[in-house]
Structures are given as C-alpha cells and as structure tokens.
Structure 1
C-alpha cells in the first residue's frame, strides 16, 4: 500500500489540474449512543491515547473539544528507534499514528471522548486503515492507560457491537499501553498551520464540522496551538 506521502502527492497534483477529488470522502457520520458505563475518574488532568488513521484529523477534532487542554500527534506501539515518520510509514514498526490527549474529567470524561471518537473521527469497520490511508500504521485502536479506561473502553466496544450501528463488523481494537512518542514538530497542529492543504480540506475539515454539528455543547472554536 502507498504511504500517506504518496497519497498527498497525488492530491497536490490533482489540485493543480482538476477541482474534483480523486476519492470521495464520507458524506455522513454515524452518531454512537452514549456509553452505558460512565468513567469514574479522579479530579485533575488525565491523559488518553487514541489511534484513528492519519493523526492530523484525530488531533484536530480533539483540539476542539471543551475540556481538552492538549492534543499531541505521535506514534504508539513500537520502539523508540523507529518512532519517526519515515520508518512508521513503512508499516513494519508496530507503531500506529496516534494522539495523546490531556483532558479535565470535570468537563469531559473518558466515555465522552469515546463517543466523539466513534461518532466523528473513525469508521470502526475499517481494518488497518482509515479513508485514503492504508496499512497497520493507520489502524484504529483504543489505548487505555489505566484500569478505569480499560473497563470503560471494553464496555463501550461491547455496546457498539450489540447496537449494530454499522453494516460491517467493528474491528477497532483495544491495545495495551506502551510508550508514546511525540511526532515531528511539523505534524503538530497541522490543520491550524496548513488550513488549505488538500488532504486537510477534504478529509479533516468535515470531521471538525461534524463535531460542531453533532456535539455543539462540547465544541470549542478556539484553542492555543503550538
């Protein structure tokens, strides 16, 4: 499968010669029901890790969620010596592109983040890829970092499976937490710094718009980028 750099190069070429995208983005977003189990979290900042395809869009969505103070693009699942964009793009490192979120449970709980993730960010029936990006480095995964997140994530996946909201089988997995490695600086707040990038405008802007539409009470328009 072609790495995202090849997909982006094609989009850039396309933008120069045609106004129509090469592939069609999703036109609808499925709203998942609220979790049956609410997270019981201590007060003060907490962290969570999500893998959901290209980290640009995952980071962009969560950066606009009230109660989220930080969203960092990075790599999870492999080792330190392969935690770089070129190596991860080969799809052989064990890493997934992921985002580490710092949030305040008094404003947004872990189960709220799960609901947003499944409603806005990913198609949970896609295996080893999301949208135009294919390969294990683009897999969708929940990465609980404590026992409470593990409990809530397991319960939420079971609820979604029983609800049968999607035509296909849910393949999003739960993965054990390993070290998280922040991605290169140019990946951080990529949507803010590159708002007209063809990939961003076609694949990720609609996700942020869906957040605003489906979760108006949770949406914040502004945040401080790095």
Structure 2
C-alpha cells in the first residue's frame, strides 16, 4: 500500500487504523536482551549499517534519536541503481526495499545495540513483506550487511532471539550483503521530524519514538540528527 493512498483517507478511517496500529505496536515493542556474542573492541569512529523494515520514514526517525548515530539517509537497497526511485520502487518488483543507512560512531554505540533497538521498536520483525498498513516486498525487513562481521553478528543475534522465543513467531528479517544503497528523494529525508503532525507520522511513527524513549532511555536523544540526502549511491 502506497502512503499517498493512506494519507488521502478520511480522519475517521485514520483514527480506526491508528488504534489498530498502536495495539499492534504495543504487542512487539519490548526491551530485548543484548547480543550474547562479544563484539571486538571498537577502534574506528565511523561505520555504516543499513536497515530495512517498512516505511523508511519511521525507521529513519528511530535511528535519528539514538546517541552515537551521526547521520541517517532514507533510501533504497537491494535493486539496481536505475530503479531506485520512489514511484518505481512502489511497484514492488524492483528488488529494492525502503531502507535507511545509519552512520554511527562504534566507540559510542555498537552494531549490536543498533540491531537491538531495530528489533525492539523500529518494526515487527516477524512480519513478511509488510509493516503496519504498508504491504509489498519493498517493505520487507532486511539487514543489508556491509562487512562479514556485521553478517556474523546479525545471524548470531537472530538465532539468539529465536532460541529465546522473545516473539510469538520466528523473526523474518533477511540478512543480505549490501551491494548498493541509493538515497531517496530529498522530500523523504527527515520526514517524520519535519512533519510530526502528518497523520501517517502521528499514527504509525510517533509511537515508536515514545517506545524508544521509554525502553531505552539511556540511548535516547531528544533532538534528532537531521541529515540531507547524499547524491548517488553509497
């Protein structure tokens, strides 16, 4: 479902959808155990991780509020450069997933911690090809890994969470090597921060920020990191 359609429905319908969404969100937003596998001590001050999980507006807004994150970019990953365009990706057959590239300082926040927040409050990781009202492969949940270390940590953490049965269903998040991230159009960047009164944002994304603040108060930063899109792929 394209968000342009969601934003065009009546306020009454949005209220009904919002109640359902918030009930669904309360069912999965939870404090998760940290990764059991030890991470190597961080020496570099810059790394990038890419997360896909439904509408990139909400995923970006979550990571913008985490201490140690230095920049975010909403975009597309999993398909070809020439199809990395919103209307084209919205057709669901490009291979792309709406994604967010997260730049962070590993000496302040680890990849494991970012995954922990992602699975806790950014999405319902048990859903397949959808999140909330958005349906299609472009809304699937993916960890696009940039290094073998990220891939190993991702596999180990998903196995850990599944073994502990922290969710009612197995985690559906895919682990895929990243072969190219393409920033989305400028009007998608920082959308939740710039338009907090937008009905979609208020209904589907604002509750995630409240959950982040409540569950991971030590990681939460009140003022989001706002970032302009970078040209080209990364």
* Same-fold status (TM-score > 0.5): yes
- 1:192: which partner in 2? 193
- 1:30: which partner in 2? 30
- 2:167: which partner in 1? 166
Q: Which moved more, 1:152-161 or 1:34-43?
A: 34-43
Kept in 2, the 8 Å contact 1:120–1:210? The answer is yes
Map 1:1-226 → 2, pairs under 5 A: 2-10=1-9, 14-15=10-11, 20-22=15-17, 24-25=20-21, 26-28=25-27, 29-40=29-40, 41-226=42-227
- 2:230: which partner in 1? none
Deviant stretches of 4+, over 3 Å: none
Q: Using the alignment, how far apart are the partners of 1:197 and 1:223 within structure 2?
A: 17
Q: Which moved more, 1:166-175 or 1:85-94?
A: 166-175
Q: Using the alignment, how far apart are the partners of 1:171 and 1:43 within structure 2?
A: 31
* 1:42/1:149 CA distance change after superposition, 3 Å: farther
* 1:138/1:185 CA distance change after superposition, 3 Å: same
Aligned-partner SS, 2:204 = helix
Instruction: Give the CA RMSD over aligned residues.
Output: 1.4
Q: Using the alignment, how far apart are the partners of 1:66 and 1:122 within structure 2?
A: 19
CA offset digits 1:143-179 (Å, max 9, x no partner): 1100111111110011011011111222111011110
CA offset digits 1:178-215 (Å, max 9, x no partner): 10000000000001111100110011001011111100
Q: Using the alignment, how far apart are the partners of 2:133 and 2:98 within structure 1?
A: 14
Q: How far off is 1:224 after superposition? A: 4.2
Q: Using the alignment, how far apart are the partners of 1:127 and 1:19 within structure 2?
A: 23
Q: How far off is 1:3 after superposition? A: 2.4
Kept in 1, the 8 Å contact 2:83–2:94? The answer is yes
Aligned-partner SS, 1:175 = strand
Aligned-partner SS, 1:142 = strand
TM (norm. structure 2) is: 0.90
How many pairs does the alignment contain? Answer: 221
Q: Which moved more, 1:36-45 or 1:141-150?
A: 36-45
CA offset digits 1:53-81 (Å, max 9, x no partner): 00001000000000001011000000111
Which segments of 5 or more consecutive residues in structure 2 lack a partner in the other structure?
A: 228-234
Aligned-partner SS, 2:214 = helix
